[in-house]
Chains A and B, each alone.
Chain A
Amino acid sequence: MTTLLWGALPYVACALLVAGLVWRYRYDKYGWTTRSSQVYESKLLNVASPAFHYGILFVLAGHVVGLFVPASWTDAVGASEHTYHLFSLYGGTFAGALTVAGLALLIYRRRTRAPVFRATTANDKAMYLFLVAAIVLGMTAKLTHASGDGYDYRRTIAPWARSLFTLRPRTDLMTGVPVLYQVHAVVGLVLIALVPYTRLVHMFSAPLQYLFRPYVVYRSRDPRQLGPRPDRRGWETPHR
């Protein structure tokens, strides 16, 4: 079980992520969108969506620091374990609270605004389930182990996470980890695997190139596309 969860699942999730992205980019570019529902309802979204997105970006940054910055580095700059814990506790809780509040408002909006709810697919619902689970479990794990210096995941989870990249996963490190953290990690891995198959895929189209391109884009007609082309996935077939 230990090997399955901490040795195999991360690689499976990663493979599904990469393969899914390649598949989606090649065969479903038309479906690759944020699927925004803002034209149905704008007021709640204008508050909830930035709160959630900025929160989750902060959370992501926190995970990167927590998992991939070894304790020795923070020690080297003179930050004690207690300082680090407080920083992580307050920063993480703030970001988590922002994310949860935004997400709660988004879900409330999705359920109560009829056009938005009607546009919600089964895929969206499954995605929301895992997203909420991952975030809530993470918050719970953090807050239940908050007393004193808290649970020091930088001695167990973080080295395990880093060992994944060397292809020699140290699964033994994960056996003593509190069960809440374990569940959070598993749900998180499943969520990573789900990204390319749900609307979450839009995170990979963050349009950073917008900062560097000229304002007006000119493009010539593609000489290879002068005639009709086969209908692609997602396109409505015209009535013949």
Chain B
Amino acid sequence: MRPMAQIAMVMNLDKCIGCHTCSVTCKQAWTNRRGMEYVWFNNVETRPGQGYPRRYEDQETWRGGWELNRRGALRLKAGGRLHKLAGIFSNPRLPEIKDYYEPWTYEYRNLTDAPLGDDYPVARPVSQLDGRPMKIEWSSNWDDNLAGAPAHGDLDPMVERTRRQAADKVRFEFEQTFMFYLPRICEHCLNPSCVASCPSGAMYKRAEDGIVLVDQDHCRGWRMCVTGCPYKKVYFNHATGKAEKCTLCYPRIEVGLPTVCSETCVGRLRYLGVVLYDADRVTAAAETKDEKALYEAQLGVFLDPHDPGVQHACEAAGIPYDWMEAARRSPVRALISEYRVALPLHPEYRTMPMVWYIPPLSPVVDALSETGHDGEDAGNLFAAIDTLRIPLEYLAEMFTAGDIGPVRASLEKLAAMRSHMRSLNLGEEPDTRIPAAVGMSPEEIETMYRLLAIAKYEDRYVIPTAAVGDARRLEESALPQGCSLDHDGGPGMGGDGPFGQDSGRKLLPLVSVENFHILRRRQTADTPDEAKED
């Protein structure tokens, strides 16, 4: 057993209202730079829809993720090592920027500088790639809220697959259709195919928290990771010629704060926590032959932090105590392994993704209520899950490689929770058969309700800090390196180099306990002054 810790995320799709706040705050924090105009580390897709980049789930075209070779061993879908090196001079499976969308700005200056005339001045859209006026034809969110679905909806690769099994299940006519939102970030997979694709070895998975990162100094711009990632969540910065991706906001995670997308989520639908897994079992699980068994196989990789044997092994592996404690309290572990309501996105890519989703029940409830039935009655709900217009098959194509069993089980638990909690709220005697029908006790249902519906900040985000894990190393570096009077405006004033703050040579390591708190304050302060206060 080789236990490792991973910071994982769960998103409760029932609560996503598609406001894109996560995308906007992420963009402001990370990708509002030249070369990254088209990049959204976090994006929210309307499903059914083509997604971003367009049709990224069509792996026959883009060749992302892993597949099994004839001997049943994993190999990259885009080709093995020699194949990759032989084809390094161009990458035929690389999406162009136009497969995402051509970024643009507007000629705002024209609005104020246009000479006096009969016509109103307009701000024409101008391409940020070639600087010429352009026609806006697509963007990361062009099919938001099913816009254009009658024309484009059939292009959703998952719609195509669902229809192969149930031809009449997905319709785009008004009043017959369904939709839900799917926020996506990097999956920080346990078996990352982007890392495996990188010829330079510049991409890596952090041993402490499982965050997948690109070493900007070692990336040489071979672009294999972009193809390798089946979720298309590694992006090519066309100004610097290097790959960039979601960092799970590691500077925030390290000081115990949730990611920007989680922090700003209006619907409070994101959960962050630690899961423990056995790194030795990852490859075997990813090699599971039957695609539909991959979900169960991934569950089998996780370790139970309450098991004394696991605790022992974790201690031996150097996982700090507060990480163990966080793993025991982890909301993510509870939703994934305990209640089993969260499901992985596209397990069939065999990358073992670590951002999981609770499938949406709301469209079922809404549709049921519209037809005049009691939307929260357990009997109605259970029957409706199978027959109503949000096709289980479609959800199953997304979350369980087409196996509707786990999706139905998850939705039934959510339905049971609604029904049970309603009887409690109305002061009725709750029917104990309802929780029993989904294999849960009333107490479990109520704890799950607290986690999903009340969703307190401290319950949603249980993030151990990197610093406490590093405590011993920190003690050694806690003595200040310079003069204690060398702060801004202090009598020493020697803190800054000849060209201002952060210039000149700095002696590393810089983190002391004080620094840790300053960093944390900087991350949370609303104004610069607030950050400076002691």
Contacts and interface: CB of A to CB of B under 8 A. Distances in A.
A2 to B, nearest CB: 39
Interface residues of B, number: 65
A229 B223 contact: no
B342 interface: no
B207 A231 contact: no
Contacts of B515: 227
Interface string A54-67: 10000000000000
B511 A226 contact: yes
B88 interface: yes
A202 B508 contact: no
A33 B243 CA distance: 10
Contacts of A4: none
A39 B89 contact: no
B482 interface: no
A207 to B, nearest CB: 3
A215 B195 contact: yes
Contact of B84 (A210, A213, A217, A229): A210
Interface stretch (B152-160, B212-220, B333-341, B388-396): B212-220
B492 interface: no
B96 interface: yes
A202 B33 contact: no
Interface string A105-128: 000000000110111000000000
A3 to B, nearest CB: 39
Contacts of A220: 206-208
Contacts of B509: 223-227
Nearest to B97: A39
Contacts of A221: 206-208, 466
Given A36-B223, A207-B85, A216-B192, A225 B94 contact: no
Nearest to A216: B195
Interface in A149-193: none
A223 B511 CA distance: 9
Interface stretch (A11-19, A41-49, A83-91, A132-140): A41-49
B221 A33 contact: yes
Interface stretch (B197-205, B293-301, B364-372, B421-429): B197-205
Nearest to A209: B201
B445 to A, nearest CB: 38
A225 B508 contact: yes
B217 A30 contact: yes
A211 interface: yes
Nearest to B129: A115
Interface string B99-130: 00000000000000000000000000001011
Contacts of B223: 36, 38-39
Interface residues of A, number: 54
B505 A230 contact: yes
Nearest to B512: A227
A49 B89 contact: yes
B503 A217 contact: no
Nearest to B199: A207
B238 A119 contact: yes
Contacts of B216: 30, 235
- With a 10 A CB-CB cut-off, give which of A202, A223, A235 has the most chain B CB atoms: A223
Contacts of A226: 466, 470, 473-474, 477, 509-511
Given A36-B241, A114-B132, A227-B509, A29 B204 contact: no
B195 A231 contact: no
Nearest to B128: A115
20 contacts: A30-B240, A33-B221, A39-B96, A42-B94, A42-B96, A115-B129, A118-B129, A205-B200, A207-B85, A207-B199, A211-B81, A216-B191, A216-B196, A217-B204, A218-B204, A218-B207, A219-B207, A220-B208, A227-B519, A228-B502
B94 A38 contact: yes
B85 to A, nearest CB: 6
B90 A210 contact: no
B197 to A, nearest CB: 9
B195 A217 contact: yes
A35 B502 contact: no
Given A29-B217, A207-B222, A114 B196 contact: no
B91 interface: yes
Nearest to B66: A215
Contacts of B218: 29
B262 to A, nearest CB: 21
B236 A210 contact: no
Contact of A34 (B95, B131, B220): B220
A41 B207 CA distance: 37
A40 B97 contact: yes
B490 interface: no
B506 interface: yes
Contact of B241 (A34, A218, A228): A34
B232 to A, nearest CB: 12
A118 B130 contact: yes
Nearest to B518: A227
Given A225-B508, A227-B511, A54 B89 contact: yes
B270 interface: no
B483 interface: no
A227 B506 CA distance: 10
Given A36-B236, A115-B127, A118-B131, 20 more contacts: A33-B220, A36-B241, A39-B223, A114-B129, A118-B129, A210-B199, A210-B201, A216-B205, A220-B206, A220-B207, A221-B208, A224-B509, A225-B509, A226-B477, A227-B509, A227-B515, A228-B502, A230-B497, A230-B502, A230-B504
B92 interface: yes
Nearest to A35: B241
A39 B236 contact: yes
Contacts of B418: none
Nearest to A204: B220
Contacts of A40: 96-97, 129, 238
Contact of A228 (B95, B191, B510): B510
B406 to A, nearest CB: 26
Given A29-B217, A40-B238, A215-B196, A231 B502 contact: yes
B100 to A, nearest CB: 9
Nearest to A29: B217
Contacts of A234: 240
Given A225-B508, A227-B515, A33 B240 contact: yes
